[in-house]
Structure 1
Amino acid sequence: MSNPHHVPDSTFDNVEIRDNSKVAALDIGSNSFHLVVARIVAGSVQILHRVKQKVRLADGLGTDGALSEEAMQRGLDTLKVIAESLQGFDPQSVRVVATHALRKASNAKTFLKAAKKVFPFPIEVISGAEEARLIYQGVAHTNHQQGQRLVVDIGGGSTEFIIGEGFETTALRSLQMGCVSYTNRFFRQGELKPKAFEKAITSAQQELEMIDKKYKQIGWNTCIGTSGTIKIIIELAGQLDSTNRENHVCLTDLLTLKDLCCLAGHSRDLQIQGITDDRRPVFAAGLAILIAAFKSLDIQEMEYSQDALREGVLYEMEEHLTHPDIRQRSAESLATRYDVDVEQAKRVLATTMTLHQQCKKAWKIDDKELKNMLAWAALLHEVGLQINTRRIQRHSGYILQNIELPGFGQEQQNLLATLTRFYRKKIKVAEVPEFTLLAQEKVFKLIALLRLGVLLNIKRQDGILPKFSVQADGDKLHIEFPDKWLEQKPVFRADFESESEYIKELGLKLSYI
């Protein structure tokens, strides 16, 4: 008789082993930190596990706009724990995004510097619009209703409202209201009074005045809520009314929950089955925001989706492996909108990439992301031309600093703006911002390469630039043209003399023959 526990050596021999890679996304939220680990198999994302840590970072945002030491320490302690979970992960397969609390904190850089010491993965602070876009992607990949959908995500410090169809967004907005910030404003002592609710609801409706008319004009077929706040509200609504469609909530349910809160009188006495101890203090604020949304946007019914920001990040990581980068589309859209001279942009791009190729190893800028940022800066350096030719670099920098650029984190957008701000004329090093994820000397070297890429194409013509070689060594950059070519180009030579003086501000020495 054969051993029932024996597994034949040939078992699974004929099962196809597909390429798969593990990826992770961490959402550093104002209320909680959410980690999702998945594997990408045959182009699909399979969630392996989720971890949620309540940190309440936004609780530490003082009236001066700074995060308290205690809040920062809570965040750092949580990152240490998460770092252990991510041991063995390739940095390229982990994406970390931070939202409202770190967007708003005046001392966010202090936290990010401290985080680098305990957490080995770069943290991107993303804009409200980018947060909204990624939330929508998380929902769109897992909910397949036909027609337009409205997605609402109540976070600790902000609430996102997005309308879209399929994978494309029609409208997206991040409003300054969240369950932690509204708790601090309207329910700080834990008292649950009708007057406090009315104030919180009115305040949220005032925020919603910025979008309510436009959103109602666009319209939607289904409304989907994400985030823990909405999840618990929908679960509780189901307990209160057995006639409710499963996983759905309407305004009547929300008002009933508000009455129950007021009957309890205090958050600690809120004895509704299903509310956890950590959710109880911020429940009323989240409920007030949702009531305001239902009233201002005339929402009839909302269903819940567990997939949101971190899943959106994951799915986009998968798409980056197989599809064009969303940032490429953003850059192309911007170039079209500002009527960029595409032929000139391509000349500058080609030359700048040649310079980068020859300098990248010696200057230690041999990084795909840095190359991409330099390339986008080359393509977009003249967006400011539509404002004025005078001080064009300032206009370009301003546009790229302030416009919505889907796919770009705040630091990436800041780098784009910085590169374009200094692509010509005098360089004021004091105006170059400090970056969290990038050493200042690397920023200076990228500025130098873009400046040379522009300078070498100053004639705006094809076919006039000879083959040249570039050598980088420490703080030195040497360009060699064909024999006596520069002698025959006195204007070019004068431009290089000026540039060699400008570039000294970056701590670099430019030589040429």
Structure 2
Amino acid sequence: MGNYAAIDLGTNSCRLLVASRKKTVLARDLQTTRLGEGLTETGLLSEKSIRKTLQCLKQFKETMAHCGVKDYRIVATSAVRESANQEDFVRQVTKETGLKLDVITPEEEAYLSYRGVTEALELAAPPLVVDLGGGSTEFMHYEGEDRYWISLPVGAVRATEANMTADELLRRLEPVIKLKDRFQNSPLVFVGGTATTAVAMKLGLREYRPELVHGQVLAKSELADLYHMVKKMSLDLLRRLPGLQPERADIIGQGLLIVYLIVDSLGKSETVVSESDLLQGIIGDLSDAG
């Protein structure tokens, strides 16, 4: 029958998930490729980041072959969506790797993340899911016919490169903040590398363990403590901090600030963090298609 694979080409990292027909995880991998590095300034995916991404995809293709993958889907999000050389990049991926790449809309990205979360967490009410990436942040809340989603140009890499202040971040988040009463009774759930890294830092994980991260709660006060801690540390010290990937050291400060501002401005005291996200949403769709 063969197994399933999902790959997410994000602004900061390239991620792989391989699962069986019963959705048992067979392999996972993450490489920091910084595909969106410099995009805000140039409007283009750089040759350096494209090369790193292509090399990553070739390695992932080998893993997929080793795991007996039959059906797969590779999606690209914010960085590729916004780049002026999007079409050239998609063609290059196919030419050099033989793999098909889908550049998905913010709406589909939101749906896939929401599916990944709600199939993996038992929550008291339909959640407000926040997918904080490197270049954008998606918010989604589905309750029967009442469906809300929005994608905002706020991300850990983008905010770091532009050196955005808290006031600037709040201005960009205003479309969601003004609706906070609507989400008063909705559990807040974060997905994405900043949130999972925050949990790993809180737990002091020297080796990342998704089963320990999934479902953890981060209190607003813990987020504030983590933010103030990393802002006082040099990059060299941050790169040696348990729970923090060295490649994420330069963007974790702004990432944590974004998480804190969202939690605080929505009037929440805490957020749940989900390890299950867009990748699991893709696996679910592949499974449904048989």
TM range, normalised to the smaller chain? Answer: 0.7 to 0.9
Contact (CA 8 Å) 1:60, 1:71: kept in 2 or not?
A: no
Paired letter, 2:17:
V
Residues 472-511 of structure 1 mapped to structure 2, 5 A cutoff = none
1:182 aligns with 2:159: yes
1:141 aligns with 2:109: no
Residue 206 of structure 1 deviates from its aligned partner by: 0.9
1:26 aligns with 2:7: yes
1:93 aligns with 2:71: yes
Give a deviation string over 1:331-387, Cα, whole Å, max 9, x none: xxxxxxxxxxxxxxxxxxxxxxxxxxxxxxxxxxxxxxxxxxxxxxxxxxxxxxxxx
Residues 116-131 of structure 1 mapped to structure 2, 5 A cutoff = 116-131=94-109
Provide structure 1 residue ranges, at least 5 long, that are not aligned to the other structure: 1-19, 187-198, 240-245, 322-513
Secondary structure in 1 matching 2:179: helix
Residues 27-426 of structure 1 mapped to structure 2, 5 A cutoff = 27-41=8-22, 45-61=23-39, 63-87=41-65, 93-165=71-143, 170-186=147-163, 199-238=164-203, 247-264=216-233, 266-270=234-238, 272-321=241-290
CA distance in 1, matches of 2:60, 2:243: 27
Residue 280 of structure 1 deviates from its aligned partner by: 1.1
CA distance in 1, matches of 2:131, 2:266: 14
Paired letter, 2:148:
A
Give a deviation string over 1:441-467, Cα, whole Å, max 9, x none: xxxxxxxxxxxxxxxxxxxxxxxxxxx
Paired letter, 1:93:
D
Contact (CA 8 Å) 1:112, 1:123: kept in 2 or not?
A: yes
Secondary structure in 2 matching 1:130: helix
Contact (CA 8 Å) 1:238, 1:247: kept in 2 or not?
A: no
CA RMSD of aligned residues (A): 2.3
Contact (CA 8 Å) 1:25, 1:37: kept in 2 or not?
A: yes
Paired letter, 1:176:
P
Contact (CA 8 Å) 1:268, 1:281: kept in 2 or not?
A: no
Greater per-residue strand proportion = 2
Paired letter, 1:269:
L
Residue 238 of structure 1 deviates from its aligned partner by: 5.0
Seen in structure 2, the aligned counterparts of structure 1 residues 83 and 169 have a Cα distance that, compared at 3 Å, is farther
Seen in structure 2, the aligned counterparts of structure 1 residues 169 and 31 have a Cα distance that, compared at 3 Å, is farther
CA distance in 2, matches of 1:178, 1:222: 22
Secondary structure in 2 matching 1:211: helix
Seen in structure 2, the aligned counterparts of structure 1 residues 70 and 218 have a Cα distance that, compared at 3 Å, is same
Residue 164 of structure 1 deviates from its aligned partner by: 2.8
Residue 160 of structure 1 deviates from its aligned partner by: 1.5
Paired letter, 2:235:
S
Give a deviation string over 1:233-285, Cα, whole Å, max 9, x none: 1233456xxxxxx8211221122222223322x33333643223112111101
Provide structure 2 residue ranges, at least 5 long, that are not aligned to the other structure: 205-214
CA distance in 2, matches of 1:81, 1:211: 39
Secondary structure in 1 matching 2:284: helix
Residue 174 of structure 1 deviates from its aligned partner by: 1.5
Contact (CA 8 Å) 2:78, 2:135: kept in 1 or not?
A: yes
Paired letter, 2:102:
E
Contact (CA 8 Å) 1:208, 1:296: kept in 2 or not?
A: no
CA distance in 2, matches of 1:202, 1:108: 31
Secondary structure in 1 matching 2:74: strand
Q: Calculate the TM-score normalised by the size of structure 1.
A: 0.51
Contact (CA 8 Å) 2:5, 2:69: kept in 1 or not?
A: no
Residue 21 of structure 1 deviates from its aligned partner by: 3.6
Paired letter, 1:247:
Q
CA distance in 2, matches of 1:89, 1:104: 33
Larger CA Rg, structure 1 vs 2: 1
Seen in structure 2, the aligned counterparts of structure 1 residues 65 and 274 have a Cα distance that, compared at 3 Å, is same
Per mean C-alpha deviation after superposition, the further-off stretch among 286-295 and 96-105 is 286-295
CA distance in 2, matches of 1:174, 1:111: 23
Residue 139 of structure 1 deviates from its aligned partner by: 0.6
Give a deviation string over 1:65-113, Cα, whole Å, max 9, x none: 0111111111111112122222388997111110011001100111111
Taking CA–CA contacts closer than 8 Å with sequence separation of 6 or more, which of the two structures ends up with the larger relative contact order?
2
Paired letter, 2:172:
E
Give a deviation string over 1:128-152, Cα, whole Å, max 9, x none: 1211111000011111223121111
CA distance in 1, matches of 2:47, 2:40: 11
CA distance in 2, matches of 1:131, 1:203: 24
Contact (CA 8 Å) 2:6, 2:283: kept in 1 or not?
A: yes
Secondary structure in 1 matching 2:149: strand
Partner of 1:348: none
Paired letter, 1:28:
L
Seen in structure 2, the aligned counterparts of structure 1 residues 254 and 218 have a Cα distance that, compared at 3 Å, is closer
CA distance in 2, matches of 1:262, 1:121: 40
CA distance in 2, matches of 1:269, 1:95: 38
